[in-house]
C-alpha cells in the first residue's frame, strides 16, 4: 500500500504479517521523536524536514512483532567501524532452510549511529538470491538509492530513487523495474510538506506502464504528531491506511493500524503493543488482528553473553495454525 513493492510481484505488505519481506532498510527508519529535537520545539520558527515518505507509518509498524518461524541463528561481526558482516542460518519447517550472508559497508564512520548514513549493503542467500542496496549522499540535500533484488538468478526488483530534502519539504522520484525490451516501467513521485509544527501533508503519484496497459494512482498522505502520539493517514484510489502510535510511558508503546485495499477488497485492523523492561533486558511485542491472528515475540538479552534470545509464536485461530520460532542473535 503506497509502496512500489505492492505493485511488483515480490511478496508485499498485503500478506503481512505472514509474509517474508526482508527487514526494513536503514533508510526507512522513522526518526524517533525523543532522540532528536522534536519538530514542535524548534525555536527558530522554521519548520523541520518531514523525513522520507516510506517512514510515515514506520513508528507504528515497529511496535508490531515480526513473524518468526523455525530456528534462526544470527551471528553479527563488526570487522571495523566501516564494515559489518552477519551470518544467518535459518532452519524452517514450512519454507526451505537457508544460510544468508549480509555485508554492510559504511561510506564514512561519522554517522555510525545514524540510520540515514550512506552505505553499501549486500545480502546473498544460499540459493543464490541477492539483495543489494546502495545509499549515497550526492550532496547535502540530495540522496540517491539503488535497490537490486534477485530471486536465485532472475532479477525481481531494480529501482533507482532520488530524494531531495529541502528545508521543510521532501521530494522523491523513483524509477522501478524499467524494462526497455518489455516497455514497462513504474514511476513513483513522492512529496511531503511540513505545514505546521505537528502536521505534515503530502502525496504519492504512481504511474505504471506495461505493454498492454498503463495507469496512475494518486494517494494523499497526512501525518499529525504530538509529543506522545502520531497519527498517519494514507488515502487514495488503491485503498486507505491509517495508523495510530502512542507512547504511554517509557516502557509501553501501543500501535493501532487499519488497512483497506480496493484491489483485494478486504480490510484489516491490527492492534499491537511493545513492552520494554530494561532492568530485565527484555522486550516483548504482542499483536492481535482482525484476521484472528494473535502473536507475541519475546526478546531477551542474555547478559553477560553478547547474545539475544528470541522466542515467538503466532496463532491463526481461523485456520487453526500455529507457528513457533526460536532465535539466537550473537554479537
Partner 1 sequence: MGGVLAASPPPPAAGSSASPGLTVPPGFGMPSVSTVVPPAESPLPNPGAFDECHRRCKEVFPLQMEGVRVVVNKGLSNHFQVNHSVLLSTTGDSSYRFGATFVGSKQTGPAEFFPVMVGDMDNSGSLNAQIIHQVTSRVRSKLAFQTQQQKFVNWQGDAEFRGEDFTATVTLGNPDVLAGSGIVVAHYLQSVTPALALGGELVYHRRPGEEGSVTSLVGRYTGDNYVATVTLGSAGAHASYYHKANDQLQVGVEFEASARMQDTSVSFGYQLDVPKANLVFKGSVDSNWVVGATLEKKLLPLPLSLLLCSFLNHQKNKVQCGFGITVG
Where does this chain bind partner 1 (CB under 8 A)?
70-71, 91-93, 97, 311, 313, 315, 320-326
Cβ proximity to partner 1: between 203 and 325 the closer is 325
CA 128 to chain centre: 23
CB of 315 to partner 1, least distance (A): 6
Judge whether 260 and 252 are in contact, CB under 8 Å: no
CB of 302 to partner 1, least distance (A): 11
* Cis? peptide before 304, omega within 30° of 0: yes
Angle at 81 between CA 80 and CA 87, to 5 degrees: 60
Cβ proximity to partner 1: between 136 and 311 the closer is 311
Close Cβ partners of 208 (under 8 Å, ≥ 6 residues apart): 7, 184, 185, 186, 187, 214, 215, 216
**Cα dist from 115 to 17, 107, 118, 158, whole Å:** 24, 13, 9, 22
d(CA 221, CA 203): 5
Cβ proximity to partner 1: between 93 and 220 the closer is 93
CB of 278 to partner 1, least distance (A): 18
The neighbour count for residue 137, using CB atoms within 10 Å, is: 15
Cβ proximity to partner 1: between 79 and 322 the closer is 322
d(CA 255, CA 61): 8
Cβ proximity to partner 1: between 46 and 321 the closer is 321
Looking at the DSSP assignment, which residues form a beta bridge with residue 69?
none
Close Cβ partners of 249 (under 8 Å, ≥ 6 residues apart): none
Judge whether 190 and 79 are in contact, CB under 8 Å: no
Tell me how far apart the terminal alpha carbons of the chain are, to the nearest angstrom. 34
Residue 242 DSSP one-character state: E
CB of 204 to partner 1, least distance (A): 39
d(CA 17, CA 323): 12
CB of 107 to partner 1, least distance (A): 39
Cβ proximity to partner 1: between 142 and 322 the closer is 322
CB of 222 to partner 1, least distance (A): 41
Cβ proximity to partner 1: between 252 and 322 the closer is 322
CB of 329 to partner 1, least distance (A): 15
Give the helix, strand, coil percentages of the chain, each rounded to 5. 10, 55, 35
CB of 96 to partner 1, least distance (A): 8
Cβ proximity to partner 1: between 73 and 136 the closer is 73
Cβ proximity to partner 1: between 217 and 309 the closer is 309
Amino acid at each position: 500500500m503506497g509502496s512500489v513493492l505492492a505493485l511488483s510481484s515480490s511478496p508485499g505488505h498485503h500478506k503481512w504479517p505472514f509474509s517474508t519481506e526482508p527487514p526494513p532498510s536503514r533508510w526507512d527508519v522513522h526518526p524517533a521523536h525523543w532522540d532528536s529535537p522534536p519538530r514542535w520545539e524548534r525555536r527558530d520558527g522554521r519548520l523541520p524536514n518531514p523525513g522520507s515518505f516510506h517512514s510515515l507509518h514506520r513508528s507504528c509498524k515497529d511496535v508490531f512483532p515480526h513473524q518468526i518461524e523455525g530456528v534462526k541463528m544470527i551471528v553479527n561481526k563488526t570487522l571495523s567501524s566501516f564494515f559489518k558482516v552477519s551470518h544467518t542460518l535459518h532452519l524452517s519447517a514450512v519454507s526451505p532452510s537457508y544460510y544468508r550472508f549480509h555485508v554492510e559497508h559504511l561510506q564514512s564512520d561519522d554517522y555510525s549511529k545514524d540510520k540515514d548514513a550512506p552505505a553499501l549493503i549486500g545480502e546473498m542467500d544460499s540459493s543464490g538470491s541477492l539483495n543489494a542496496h546502495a545509499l549515497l549522499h550526492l550532496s547535502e540535500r540530495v540522496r540517491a538509492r539503488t535497490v537490486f533484488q534477485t530471486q536465485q538468478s532472475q532479477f525481481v526488483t531494480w529501482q533507482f530513487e532520488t530524494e531531495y530534502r529541502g528545508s521543510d519539504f521532501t521530494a522523491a522520484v523513483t524509477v522501478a523495474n524499467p524494462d526497455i525490451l518489455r516497455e514497462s516501467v513504474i514511476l513513483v513521485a513522492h512529496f511531503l510538506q511540513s505545514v505546521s509544527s505537528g502536521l505534515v501533508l503530502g502525496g504519492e503519484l504512481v504511474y505504471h506502464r506495461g505493454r498492454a496497459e498503463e495507469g496512475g494512482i494518486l494517494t494523499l498522505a497526512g501525518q499529525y504528531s504530538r509529543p506522545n502520539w502520531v497519527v498517519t493517514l494514507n488515502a487514495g484510489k488503491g485503498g486507505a491506511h491509517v495508523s495510530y502510535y502512542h507512547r504511554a510511558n517509557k516502557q509501553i508503546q501501543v500501535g493501532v493500524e487499519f488497512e483497506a485495499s480496493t484491489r483485494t477488497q478486504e480490510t484489516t485492523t491490527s492492534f499491537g503493543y511493545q513492552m520494554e523492561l530494561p532492568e530485565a533486558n527484555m522486550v516483548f511485542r504482542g499483536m492481535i488482528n482482525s484476521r484472528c491472528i494473535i502473536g507475541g515475540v519475546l526478546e531477551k538479552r542474555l547478559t553477560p553473553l553478547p547474545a539475544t534470545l528470541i522466542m515467538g509464536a503466532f496463532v491463526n485461530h481461523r485456520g487453526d495454525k500455529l507457528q513457533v520460532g526460536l532465535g539466537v542473535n550473537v554479537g
